[in-house]
């Protein structure tokens, strides 16, 4: 079977997770009757020091529900150029909520508080679009799994709030940021008005994300979730996977980070222009193929023929993501394939 490093979403639920799914107490969640969902929402909210949570099928929905509680039609959110919200949610903020988006660009997606603060324009009057929210992605997926500095987050949050601008955290991989940086979930949580977190990325659940915020915003988002057709019934079977993921799969992310670093070091030894291991802080390895002149699709095809699946995310940008179904033996095999394919003519 091929080694699959396209994403950390490709994992299989473990035997223990499947048992938890099978034995979950459930109820009709649209009526608020599912004890496993209710407990997961309370648990996740408490973890980040927020009042309430809302279980969602996807991180995209959690992001979009959060954003629409912060920004009204005709107003704007600002985000980093390569953030998931603007690049990979198919224009949802505009399509569903009438929200406009403006971007700032950051090397490796890394936040510098002054970048969004410089372009933000709150209460812009009758001619310009008013900025109502700033979103931060942590870790930053297309930036290469980079971790945002807590002091930049703190600076940005304080200045944004002083100007009446709300803060959203796309925390699909906040677990990775926490494990690698040691910053607590409550420390991350306190700087944001809304948060999205995913259980279906590095934590290995088959599905499940949460929006976290105040009771009031969650109540509003609950109505919109139903309006979008994502009110779910005996969905405790999925929330149970989420509980299992939180119980068992956070600390082990350090292993994924170590394997990603090992891959980056091996690739840098082939050609240092492709990746700088210093920039590989978590489980994502971004490959810049510009200097070696192999397109991302060419490399992806070569790897596939050799039994390794990776993603082409730009003409000369490829990505590998380590995860809980990828062990040391596969890591060594993947490195051998990459070494061969990167030098082949």
* Residues within the interface to ligand PLP (CB under 6 A): 58-60, 63, 84, 137, 141, 170, 172, 198, 200, 209
Nearest to 262 by CA among 323, 177, 328: 328
Across-strand partners of 52? 213
* Least distance in angstroms from the C-beta of 103 to ligand PLP: 15
Angle CA 271–303–305, to nearest 5: 145
Q: Which residue's CB is nearer to ligand PLP, number 44 or number 294?
A: 44
Closest residue to ligand PLP in the complex (CB): 59
In the complex, least distance from residue 211 CB atom to ligand PLP, rounded to whole angstroms: 12
| Shortest Å distance, C-beta 312 to ligand PLP | 16
- Closer of 230 and 250 to ligand PLP (Cβ): 230
Our CB check for ligand PLP shows the closer of 84 and 257 to be 84
Q: Are strands 194-198 and 166-171 parallel, antiparallel or unpaired?
A: parallel
| Rounded distance between C-alpha atoms, residue 327 and residue 3, angstroms | 10
Q: Whole-number minimum distance, CB 291 to ligand PLP, in Å? A: 26
Q: Quick one: 59 or 294, whose CB is closer to ligand PLP?
A: 59
CB burial of residue 14 (10 Å; 0-12, 13-18, 19+): middle
- In angstroms, the CA 149 to CA 167 distance is 15
In angstroms, give the least distance from the CB of 248 to ligand PLP. 20
Distance CA 23, CA 15 (A): 12
Q: How far is the CB of 49 from ligand PLP (least distance, A)?
A: 21
As a three-state string, the secondary structure of 67-120 is: HHHHCCCCCEEEEECCCHHHHCCCCHHHHHHCCEEEEECCHHHCCCCHHHHHHC
Closest to ligand PLP by CB, 55 vs 302, is 55
Residue 93 or 172: the one with the smaller Cβ distance to ligand PLP is 172
Say which residues have a Cβ less than 8 Å from residue 187's Cβ, sequence separation at least 6. Answer: 150
Nearer of residues 92 and 303 to ligand PLP, judged by Cβ: 92
CB of 144 to ligand PLP, least distance (A): 12
Tokens of 251: 């600390």
> Both tokens of residue 83?
């953030």
Rounded least distance, CB 334 to ligand PLP, Å: 21
Torsion on CA atoms 113, 80, 109, 88, rounded to nearest 10:
150
Please identify, using beta-carbon distances, which residue of 149 and 311 lies nearer to ligand PLP. 311
Q: Give the residue from 107, 68, 110, 108 showing the smallest Cα distance to 85.
A: 68
């Amino acid at each position: 079977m091929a080694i699959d490093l396209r994403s950390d979403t490709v994992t299989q639920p473990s035997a223990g997770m499947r048992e938890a799914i099978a034995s979950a107490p459930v109820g009709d969640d649209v009526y608020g009757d599912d004890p496993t969902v209710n407990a997961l929402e309370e648990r996740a909210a408490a973890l980040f020091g927020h009042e309430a949570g809302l279980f969602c099928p996807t991180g995209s929905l959690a992001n979009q529900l959060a954003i629409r509680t912060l920004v009204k039609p005709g107003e704007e959110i600002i985000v980093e150029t390569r953030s998931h919200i603007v690049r990979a949610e198919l224009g949802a903020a505009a399509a569903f909520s009438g929200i406009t988006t403006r971007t700032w660009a950051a090397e490796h997606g890394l936040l510098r508080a002054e970048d969004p603060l410089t372009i933000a324009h709150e209460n812009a009057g009758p001619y310009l679009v008013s900025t109502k929210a700033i979103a931060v992605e942590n870790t930053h997926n297309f930036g290469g799994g980079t971790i945002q500095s807590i002091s930049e987050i703190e600076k940005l949050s304080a200045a944004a709030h002083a100007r009446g601008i709300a803060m959203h955290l796309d925390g699909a991989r906040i677990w990775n940021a926490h494990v690698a940086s040691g910053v607590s979930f409550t420390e991350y949580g306190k700087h944001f008005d809304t948060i999205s977190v995913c259980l279906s990325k590095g934590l290995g659940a088959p599905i499940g994300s949460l929006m976290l915020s105040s009771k009031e915003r969650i109540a509003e988002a609950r109505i919109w979730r139903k309006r979008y057709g994502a009110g779910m019934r005996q969905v405790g079977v999925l929330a149970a996977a989420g509980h299992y993921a939180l119980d068992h799969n956070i600390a082990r992310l350090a292993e994924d980070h170590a394997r990603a670093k090992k891959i980056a070091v091996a690739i840098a030894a082939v050609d240092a222009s492709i990746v700088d291991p210093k920039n590989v802080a978590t489980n994502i390895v971004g490959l810049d193929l510009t200097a070696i002149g192999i397109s991302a699709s060419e490399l992806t095809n070569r790897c596939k023929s050799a039994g390794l699946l990776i993603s082409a995310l730009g003409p000369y940008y490829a990505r590998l993501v380590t995860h809980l179904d990828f062990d040391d033996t596969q890591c060594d095999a993947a490195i051998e394939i990459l070494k061969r394919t990167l030098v082949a003519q």
